[in-house]
Amino acid sequence: MLSKKQAKIFFLGGTILFMLIFIGMSVHSLMVGIPENTNDSEIDDQVKLGKLIWEEQNCMGCHTIMGEGAYYAPELTRVYSRRGETYIHAVLTAPEGWGFRGRRMVKYDFTEEEVAGLIAFLKWMDKTELNGFPAAPSLPPPSPAH
Amino acid sequence: MKYKSQKIAYQFFLLAMLLFVLQIIYGFIMGFAHMGYDVLHDFIPFNTAVTTHKNLLVVWILAGFMGSAYYIIPDESGQELWSVPLAKLQFWSFAIVGVVAVAGFHVGWWEGRKFLEIPRPLDYLVAGNVILFLVIILMTLLKGKQTTTSWVLTMGLVFAALLYLPGMIYFDNIAVDSFFRWWVVHLWVEGVWELIMGGILAYLLIKLTGVDREVIEKWLYVVVGLTFISGILGTGHHYYYTGGPSYWLMIGGIFSALEPLAFLAMTIFAIQMYRKGNKKHPNKLALYWTLSTAIVSFLGAGLLGLAHTLPGVNLYTHGTLVTAMHGHLAFWGAYASLILAIISYSMPLMTGRNIFDNRIGHLAFWCSNIGMIAMTAAFAAAGVAQVYLERIAGYDFMTTAIEIQPHFFVLIVAATLFTTGIVLFIINFFKFGKPTDEALQTEEAFEALKTV
């Protein structure tokens, strides 16, 4: 029968072993994997500004990006290629705040520089490699007859 | 209650209950917004509501953990708390920082990083407050008798504090930011918070079942060992689609699939100890909450986590309401119920009023648990419908959001039942009155219940 001492060794040994493996994998991810997948070298001042505004305005409090956020507004990882720059600009500068089919976005008073920063951030995000996320719909579009 | 200083726990429990009510109110605001009734948009837009809802959860659970530690550590170490005035200072500073943070969210003073929205200047105050808390706990622990239960609980608290630090570093790359954010959030809730949970659960089982401490603490080691063996590399399920290398799909998938084992072990541990022990302890409500913590955490954190953790499934469920389904039952089962268990156990001992087995208490238990399970079902229906409509059939976000609105009506009905349960629990909480020194040694009456 397992003794208390053996149980303690199981806890401490297992924790230390798997923590070391996790730290090793994390170092590799941070040094190699994430910079490659996210084109880290392409993060310029505009992208940095966009990311800062993204956080200051808590966009994640409604939207999701890389699938992370609050599920109340659309997923934005590939919004740049899905909607295009003109549409995004219109959303961000809507005088009364953007609204779509009854759901309202907070009204913002962004400067043109800030809008450009957010667009640059979303353009950078659009090119990230996220292991296949978001996946393309697996069903074909519904036919007009239905 | 053996020591006067344990009474400080009451203030933390009271704060936790008040913040819990506030958290539920913000939950309703969000539920109505999802249904199409975002009537408070101009005053409390959705991102304010969601941030307040989530951070209130974190703050009230932390308040519950702190109160638990202030109650348990003096009892376990066999002496008064190291410094009651400092503990009071720590309480008030914690409460003030919490209230300021929540108020700040309403004027846009935040960092838009899920679960870590508290702005940087307040982060430093949180860190200072937690250091003070840990000093008080460690000084009490080191000066007195040291048990496995108190060490597991304290280590959980120490590592929870240390893990907060990576979340305070600023990164220009949002993928790196996200990577470290999960060091905090995942390694909290599926790591060191489970140490705290294991410590509190072990303490409650020792007290409520009378089973020999050595037996309970041996299995405590096994349970927390399984937690870390599966949970540390299980962090990988947050790195599948957030910019991490592809090896996380395999590593995260395997170890996430093992994570329910830790919760299953916790469930078997609690039920076995209950079966092994005597059934004489009069505090039936504390026992109900203790066992439900072990069982519902397995369902919410273990099984519902497993339901969408495998990479092939998560590719479609990631970033949908399926996550909300899992999150609600997991937090309720593992942490909220645990705090309600320790409150149910300690309040009679701190106040001397034996509200152990009353009708309101049982109604509170069943309404809140059934309500939360029904809420989980509503989230599941909404989440699965969202996955099929948006991710598999390719409808746009808002078309899907409108189609799934009826599920939020069900959610609100279920949440009303849940809220009824919580209100009843709080009515019971206030019926106890305030702690009193006259309640000292009330625990002695139960010492005879020990089986060994």
A contacts of B217 (beta carbons < 8 Å): 4
Q: Cβ–Cβ of A66/B393 closer than 8 Å?
A: no
**Whether ipTM exceeds 0.90:** yes
Q: Cβ–Cβ of B218/A3 closer than 8 Å?
A: yes
Q: Cβ–Cβ of B214/A4 closer than 8 Å?
A: yes
Query: In chain A, helix, strand, coil percent, each to 5?
Result: 55, 5, 40
Q: Has residue B134 been placed in a domain?
A: yes
Residue B74 belongs to what domain range? Answer: 12-145
For position B447, what pLDDT does the model report? Answer: 62
Lowest mean pLDDT among A66-70, A101-105, B323-327: A101-105
Residue B313's closest chain A neighbor by CA?
A135
Q: Cβ–Cβ of A66/B178 closer than 8 Å?
A: yes
Q: Has residue B304 been placed in a domain?
A: no
Question: Structurally, how many domains does chain B consist of?
Answer: 1
Of A11, A26, A137, the CB nearest to B394: A137
Q: How many CB atoms lie within 10 A of CB B447?
A: 10
Q: Has residue B38 been placed in a domain?
A: yes
Measure in Å the smallest separation between the Cα of B115 and chain A Cα atoms: 10
Q: Is the peptide bond before A134 cis (omega within 30 degrees of 0)?
A: yes
Render pLDDT for B319-351 as a digit per residue (tens, 0 to 9): 999 999 999 999 999 999 999 999 999 999 999
For position A145, what pLDDT does the model report? Answer: 62
Measure in Å the smallest separation between the Cα of A95 and chain B Cα atoms: 15
Q: Has residue B388 been placed in a domain?
A: no
Q: Cβ–Cβ of B225/A7 closer than 8 Å?
A: yes
Q: Which residue has better confidence, B27 or A100?
A: B27
Q: Cβ–Cβ of B245/A70 closer than 8 Å?
A: no
Q: What is the mean pLDDT of residues B63-88?
A: 97
Residue A15's closest chain B neighbor by CA?
B228
Most A CBs within 10 A among B397, B398, B405, hence the mutation to make, goes to B397
Among candidate residues A125, A77, A66, A138, the one with its CA nearest the CA of residue B390: A138
Among candidate residues B89, B91, B117, the one with its CA nearest the CA of residue B104: B117
A contacts of B405 (beta carbons < 8 Å): none
Render pLDDT for B263-280 as a digit per residue (tens, 0 to 9): 999 999 999 999 998 888
What is A42-126's CATH number, 1.10.760.10, 3.90.1150.10, 3.40.50.300, 3.30.499.10?
1.10.760.10
Q: Cβ–Cβ of A33/B244 closer than 8 Å?
A: yes
Render pLDDT for B189-216 as a digit per residue (tens, 0 to 9): 999 999 999 999 999 999 999 899 999 9
- Angle at the Cα of B373 from the Cα atoms of B300 and B302, rounded to 5 degrees: 10
Query: How many Å apart are CA B401 and CA B86, to the nearest integer?
Result: 50
Instruction: Check if B123 contacts A (Cβ < 8 Å).
Output: no
Q: Cβ–Cβ of A8/B221 closer than 8 Å?
A: yes
